Amino acid sequence: MSNSRLLEHKRVGLYHVGDMVFISKSDALIYATATKQPVYWDFNDDVFSKIDWKIPISTPLSELYKQRAQQLRDKYDYLSLFFSGGVDSANVLHSFIDNGIFLDEIVMYRPVRTIKNANTLDKSPKNVYSEIEFAAIPHLKKYLKDERTLVRFIDMDTSAEEFFNDDNLLSEFCTLNNMGVTPVVKTAMCLTDKIWNALYESGKTVAHIHGIDKPIISIDNGEYSFQFEDSMSFNFESKSLIDQYDRINKHQYHEYFYWTPDLPQLVIKQCQVVKQVCNNDLIFKLLFVQSLNSIQQKFMAIIHYIYPPHVNEIRDRFTTGKVLLGLNASQHLWFHDTMGDDINGKFNDMVKYTRYIIDDSFFYNSNKNAIKLFKGKKYIL
């Protein structure tokens, strides 16, 4: 792989094991298992370490969101936003449309077989994709006015079937970056979707924009800090030498909207805002001091300070509970319920293989249903 491509992947995180550098988390863990070495996740340390996170950033978050949207518009030929119906991607959406910055495409991915049974009374984690029907779509109808923006849906059922029934695709994922199936299917979409492939073929650069992620700070003995973590890691470089995948590698890009070396002030400002609220509100501060509080509780507290009211409005439309980790994470449940025995069997074989070749220490528990998250360098606020 060329140095330029490696640097491009570094933007969304790289794994270091000794002197070796890996794009794939699974590749890194396999090598670490074989060589009995630790793994370190590098999320643009060279950029974020040059900044003193304690120095207040005077630029308002609204202006930084606008700058980030314009930055992406200026860099790529085609911008595609993954819009889930959640508040993070809703804020990305508004960073474009509120500032008159053109967004080429909004993509909502959902398992059609499951969504047919959607109802507003079911707030359980298994109904998470109903946020598309009852939050994302109504929100777009209210706020999206530019008819040039393509709005479309991708059926995850079809993407899963395409992936698990294609030996070339299966060979790309002999192991998983994540124990859940959804990241695999999401990557498969980016490889097989006809519209995106036509853009790759034409030579256009396509940026898939992800709303990653909220600034969960830590407080230890009165000291505030922040660490990037790879829970949302989306990093892929085809190992195949066939022309199709080589073309995709050269024209497909993944951009985290909030966590970016191109505008490091954005996530730092978010962290500083959260710290300031903690200093002003003891109850809010206790969320980050007490380990018993869930990540979801912290998420819900933060969003009212880092996103404007009309963005947070999307959560009042419809939202479900969330299970965040492991094979039973909310976004994965559709697969086990709707896919046939053959496809479920192929997926289970991949999971078993991963469990077999990666050391137990890299999993959360003896059931090995979730690979541990890696945190990067600690930044003091």
Edge-to-edge strands, sheet with 78-82: 150-155, 105-110, 78-82, 206-210, 252-256
8 A C-beta contact, residue 26 and residue 354: yes
- Where is average pLDDT lowest: 3-7, 188-192, 252-256, 330-334? 3-7
Question: Mean pLDDT over residues 291-313, rounded?
Answer: 88
The more confident residue out of 108 and 351 is 108
Residue 18 in this model has a pLDDT that exceeds 70: yes
Once rounded to an integer, what is the mean pLDDT over residues 46-73? Answer: 98
Residue 75: which H helix or E strand, with range?
A: helix 61-75
For 220, the token pair is 């230890």
In this predicted model, what pLDDT tens digit does every residue of 171-203 receive, in sequence order? Answer: 766 545 566 777 778 878 888 899 999 999 999
Work out the pLDDT band at 356, boundaries 50, 70, 90. Answer: confident
Question: What confidence tier does 2 reach under pLDDT thresholds 50, 70, 90?
Answer: low
The more confidently predicted of residues 121 and 104 is: 104
Split into its structural domains, the chain has a count of: 1
Cα–Cα distance between 363 and 149 in angstroms, integer? 42
Q: Residue 89: its pLDDT value, please? A: 96
CA distance 172 to 188: 10
Q: Which carries the bigger pLDDT value, residue 287 or residue 83?
A: 83
Q: What is the mean pLDDT of residues 199-217?
A: 93
Q: What pLDDT score was predicted for residue 172?
A: 66
Q: In residues, how long is the chain?
A: 381
| Position with higher pLDDT, 141 vs 23 | 141
Instruction: Supply the pLDDT for residue 234.
Output: 61
Instruction: Between 200 and 169, name the one with better pLDDT.
Output: 200
Percentage above 90 pLDDT, the chain: 51
For residue 243, pLDDT beyond 70:
no
**Residue 36, CB half-sphere, CA atoms under 13 Å: how many?**
0
Coil, strand or helix: which one is 33? Answer: helix
Mean pLDDT score of the chain: 87
Average pLDDT of the residues in 197-214: 93
Print the SS3 string covering 117-168: CCCCCCCCHHHCCHHHHHHHHHHHHHHCCCCCCEEEEEEHHHHHHHHHCCHH
Name every residue whose Cβ is closer than 8 Å to that of residue 289 and which is 6 or more positions away in sequence. 219
pLDDT at 232: 62
Sheet holding 14-17, edge to edge: 20-22, 14-17, 40-42
Check whether 24 has a pLDDT greater than 90.
no
Q: Among all chains, which residue has been given the structure tokens 């978050």?
A: 61
Cα–Cα distance, 195 to 117 (Å, whole number):
28
Host domain of residue 233: 3-380
Residue 295 scores a pLDDT above 70:
yes
Q: Report the pLDDT averaged over residues 12-28.
A: 89
pLDDT of 6 higher than 70: no
**Mean pLDDT, residues 288-315:** 87
- In this prediction, residue 240 carries a pLDDT of 56
Q: pLDDT by residue (tens digit) across 133-163? A: 999 999 999 999 999 999 999 998 888 888 8
Phi, psi for residue 240 in degrees, rounded to 5: -75, 150
Listed range (61-65, 198-202, 254-258, 345-349) with the worst mean pLDDT: 345-349
CB 256 within 8 A of CB 212: yes
Q: What's the whole-number mean pLDDT along residues 367-374?
A: 80
